[in-house]
Amino acid sequence: MMSADNTSIISASGHLSISRWDRRTGKGISGPFHIRPACFGVVAFSPDAGRIATTSSRYEVFVWDASTERLVAGPFYGHQNWVTAIAFSPDGTRIVSGARDQAVLVWDICAPSAPVQSLERHHGYALSLIFSPNGSHIVAASTDHLVRVWDLRNENSIPQLLQGHTSCVRSVDVSSDGALIVSGADDRTIRVWGMSTCQTIYGPFEGHSDYILSVKFSPNGQQVVSGSQDCTVRVWDVSTGNAVAGPFTAHTSRVNAVTFSTDGTQVVSGSDDGTIRVWNVQSQPDANAHIERTPADSRAVDSNSTGTWKLNPEGWVVDKDENPLMWIPPLAHDAIRPPAPDHILIPRFNLPISSLLEGKAWKELCRRQEGKSIRNVSIRTVRLMPSPSNSTRPLTVSSPHVPTHWHSLTTMSLPLPAQSDSKSGLSLQVLKSRAGARFAILGLTVAGVLYYLAAPDSYRPELAWPREKPFTVPPPPPPAWDQEFDPPPLPPQGGGAPVKPPSNSQMAERAEAVRKAFRHAYKGYVDAAWTYDELLPNTNGSVNNFNGWGVSVIDSISTMQLMGLKPEYDSALDFVVRMDFDIKNDGHAPFFETAIRYLGGLVSAHSLARSAVTGPLSSLESANTNSNSYAGREHILLTKAALLADKLLPVFDSPSGLPFFGVRTSGPAPVYPTDDPKSYKYSKASDNAPGARITPGGSAPLAEFASCQMELKYLSWATGQARYFLAAERVMDVMKKVAPRLPLPGLFPIWWERTAGTPIGDHVSLGAMADSGFEYLLKQYLLTGRTETALRDLWLDASDSIISHMLYISPNRKLLYITDISGGSHSPTGKLEHLSCFLPGLFALGADQLTEKEGMTKQRKERYMWAAIGLTNTCIGFQGTNAKWIDELTKWERTRGPGDLPPGVTTKWTRVESDGQRDYSSSDPRWLSRPETLESVFLLWRTTKDPVWRERGWAAFQAIEKYSKTQFGYGSVSHVDNKSAATAANSQPSYFLAETLKYLFLLFSDDSALPLDQFVFNTEAHPLGVWKWRDWEMEKYKIH
């Protein structure tokens, strides 16, 4: 906020370090004042700036004295969830607070024991609150697309609803005369309303290209300033809606807060890029200017300092001799130019080239603690975690005059106070090499670090890169995307020694062949079946078989991201924007398929976008300059995922918690009033009767109810909404309750009674109807940062029992196989399904990722890897017995008893066509484009590094190209055992794009693409970045 005398600015960082700055010089006047406890950066200043209101992780509100740093009032208890907005009354005696419990409470500072007024609950929750200038009204911006106005003079008044925005409203303000209200929303518009009429008077004002995060009236009420997710600041004329100043474009991350100076001649903005900027309203920048489009400026940043440097047109920082030092992404160019006529609040960054050191160990540059966002014009500083090696020195950017928060290195021009002593100012150290080689920095690495650190921590998995890699200066990256874009090589990742990119160009050619196969298949879909679910590749037709929402698009997004297919990716994002998840004729969506394909596809795309690890997204912000720029658009994926999940949640409103078969998704999503884990009812949150929404279905198969947890838990972690976790965990609670009573540890039967939540019968399978139920036990544990140990233990029990009771060896060829068992004696059925071929990959993943402390003893690891290699050889092996090396469903002869372990299992396979020689007979000769064998081949390559797996994967791909490819796409194969009858069936399943081709591409790609310790694949091959539950979440959700 601006001080009353217009001389200073008060700011708060995301974790509430409060400082006061001289508006003219940018020097700190007072602070930093560190407030604890703090939570989410929710803060408000009293009108005289003498008091500060904050919130805590326990849903409390506090009031502090800004000069003494002492608690004045509070804590105020009343909310049942995180507080999202607070504001002081004009006289500073009252506070209004809004929270995710959808309540808005008014407090008397002198009487904090209970709220003096509880206003009507929202259907959403408040993101911004403000009193009118005379204190008679409260205005709220809400997530339910509405602006609410309460008249405090009438205790029983019903709020006035201001309707017009079509998306979440994020910010509101009231003019100084109390006559007008301004609001900014995610629909990218600004509206001005009459306080008395509650109708739109002016607007909507359009011009921002992304969410509007902050709006503020000028002192005379004639202008409005806005800050946006698109990184720009604009000033509008209230009466005409014309932009009278801006766009101001120097911010490199979203603008969280804006305000006018008291004389109205300047505006101040605070951003996630760590800067506060002051703009002259009279300035008129180019109306078409945008950060990504601004050309590089070669002006020196400080022509008087030693080690002067400049930015050349290609984006390289060069010294006075034009030697390249480091490369800066285009997104950051504006922030490193001298300000004129506007200025950053604090003096400009000066890069002391003379203090740079050489080196090679840089592992810790990509590690960062919890980030702090800039709220209410906040400031952040930079510090990167030091390397644990004693032979290295950390990269640090710091200053004693700025609050020492962990902070994202969004640009290399973070503003810091000027220092008279260079040793106490900014230091940028890049470790010395022992050979004392000439100074060099890996420019693309710096660029990657910038993009990695620019993302909020809540969307970014923690990376651990190996150290000891020499620095080299690469050529600058291409300025724009090519149509045939190859993802740039990524730094090696993982816990062991760095894995070098394949030296044999054949691997790159194979990966490119798979990419071309995907583009052929997807082009066929776009040309003939766009907006439908799947392509009919023989007839060039289309079919709706999964809700009619375009499942091939959503299932393909993560593959596009991995392969770097920008045109297809941009088109898919535009497709997602228009999704509403309604079904024609008011039909019902099957929960299982909808969750793994649609919900899994959306949350995976969101996770990959925020991780900045996959090929296209690591440099998308710098390369993409059109309206489809992904900067900030990850929220579309998360918003749509949450909308879909909210429409699906009524399936969990069963007596046991096991989900019903399907749900009617047409119409608005139910509104959920609380995240209370003790009394959560999904159907009662809606006006729709549960019977009208639910398709009960018969008995529940294990895979149907135990294969949604990864998707829902990621969504709960990413959004902060507990209801998704609670729904998923109710299912796991049922399984944990049943586990001690199972005849064989960990082996859950296929069929369950939905109402009672109890097993039906004793048929155990790792094939259809059960497979992913076992898969998600291990993968949930890995995905959530190894915090849910009960799930790990269940998976270990199940795996031990599978190896002991469900594996058999064929009599002649000595092939290891898995089959179903049933009955009290656990008799085998003699059937092996191709769907079961995911299991060896799961064994290999567990053996590779779990440590001895986690139960993976040396003996257990050897046993699991034996099973993994033996089973994968079998799955690939009976591909080899077929005329075209493509899998089939088979029946096997039982020859050995349970627990018959090696020696005796073959590791070789040859082509055999006689049923007698095969040891089995074919039950279903079709190849349905399934990926399970190739999934295991990929995981065996990653965990053993035996090149034989790549060769076998390539043989499978060549067979797919020969027998499955059609003019329009790829079809399933109707009869793999008969060359003359082997014609491509008229079906191109979406999982062929999501799984089969993705695993093949990864098989021939460098291991740094989606490392196994940082990403976990759902059962539809949608990768999710690993995260770790925070302490308060583990306590709230009772995770153990």
Q: Where does residue 36 rank: exposed (0-12), middle (13-18), buried (19+ CB within 10 A)?
A: exposed
CA atoms of 795 and 641, how far apart (whole Å):
28
Overall average pLDDT of the 416-429 stretch: 28
Range of lowest pLDDT (43-47, 310-314, 808-812, 900-904):
900-904
Determine the pLDDT at residue 588: 87
Determine the pLDDT at residue 524: 96
What is the DSSP annotation of 866-891? HHHHHHHHHHHHHHHTSTTS---EEE
In the annotated binding site for Ca(2+), the residues are: 1019
- Is residue 397 pLDDT above 80, yes or no? no
Instruction: Using alpha carbons, select from 350, 200, 340 the residue that is nearest to residue 279.
Output: 340
CA atoms of 1018 and 642, how far apart (whole Å):
18
Asked if residue 49 lies in contact with residue 1, where contact means CB atoms within 8 angstroms, the answer is: yes
Residue 970 has phi, psi (to 5 degrees) of -135, 130
- Is residue 190 pLDDT above 90, yes or no? yes
Q: Where does residue 432 rank: exposed (0-12), middle (13-18), buried (19+ CB within 10 A)?
A: middle
- Is residue 95 pLDDT above 80, yes or no? yes
Helices (H), 677-819: 690-693, 702-705, 709-719, 722-738, 771-783, 789-805
Q: Scan for tokens 């990509």, then name that residue.
A: 366
Q: Is 462 a catalytic residue?
A: no
Instruction: Determine the 3-state secondary structure of 955 from DSSP.
Output: helix
pLDDT (tens digit, 9 = 90+) per residue, 355-374?
Answer: 333 333 333 333 332 333 33
Instruction: Determine the 3-state secondary structure of 736 from DSSP.
Output: helix
CA atoms of 42 and 13, how far apart (whole Å):
10
Active site residue: 210, 272, 334, 593, which one? 593
Q: Domains along the chain?
A: 1-113 (2.130.10.10), 504-621+631-754+762-894+922-1033 (1.50.10.10)
Bridge partners of 43? 54
Q: Is 729 a catalytic residue?
A: no
Overall average pLDDT of the 44-59 stretch: 81
Pairing of strands 541-543, 1015-1017: unpaired
CA atoms of 75 and 95, how far apart (whole Å):
12
Where does the pLDDT of residue 983 fall: very low under 50, low under 70, confident under 90, or very high at 90 and above? low
Provide the b/e sequence for 496-519 (b: ≥16 CB within 10 Å).
eebbeebeeeebeebbebbbebbb
Q: Is 862 a catalytic residue?
A: no
User: What helix, strand, coil percent values describe the chain, rounded to 5?
Assistant: 30, 20, 50
- Look over the chain and give the mean of its residue pLDDT values, rounded to a whole number: 73
Active site residue: 358, 646, 771, 797, which one? 771
Determine the pLDDT at residue 6: 60
Active site residue: 820, 932, 1006, 1007, which one? 932
The answer, yes or no, to whether the previous bond of 247 is cis (omega within 30 of 0) is yes
- Is residue 449 pLDDT above 50, yes or no? no
Instruction: Using alpha carbons, select from 861, 865, 889, 864 the residue that is nearest to residue 875.
Output: 889
The answer, yes or no, to whether the previous bond of 204 is cis (omega within 30 of 0) is yes
Q: Report which residue type is found at 110.
A: C
Q: Is 206 a catalytic residue?
A: no
Instruction: Using alpha carbons, select from 222, 204, 212 the residue that is nearest to residue 257.
Output: 212
More reliable by pLDDT, 757 or 380 = 757
- The pLDDT > 70 percentage for the chain reads 64
The answer, yes or no, to whether the previous bond of 32 is cis (omega within 30 of 0) is yes
- Is residue 906 pLDDT above 50, yes or no? no
Where does the pLDDT of residue 628 fall: very low under 50, low under 70, confident under 90, or very high at 90 and above? very low
Where does the pLDDT of residue 130 fall: very low under 50, low under 70, confident under 90, or very high at 90 and above? very high
Q: Scan for tokens 């959403």, then name that residue.
A: 124
Where does the pLDDT of residue 927 fall: very low under 50, low under 70, confident under 90, or very high at 90 and above? low
pLDDT (tens digit, 9 = 90+) per residue, 688-701?
Answer: 443 457 777 678 99
Q: Scan for tokens 């949150």, then name that residue.
A: 685
- Is residue 236 pLDDT above 60, yes or no? yes
This prediction's pTM:
0.54
CA atoms of 166 and 32, how far apart (whole Å):
40
Overall average pLDDT of the 630-642 stretch: 75
What is the DSSP annotation of 380-400? ---BPPPPS-TT--------T
Q: Where does residue 526 rank: exposed (0-12), middle (13-18), buried (19+ CB within 10 A)?
A: middle
Where does the pLDDT of residue 428 fall: very low under 50, low under 70, confident under 90, or very high at 90 and above? very low
CA distances from 510 to 330, 960, 995, 1001 (A): 33, 13, 17, 8
Highest-confidence segment of 69-78, 501-510, 646-655, 1025-1034: 646-655
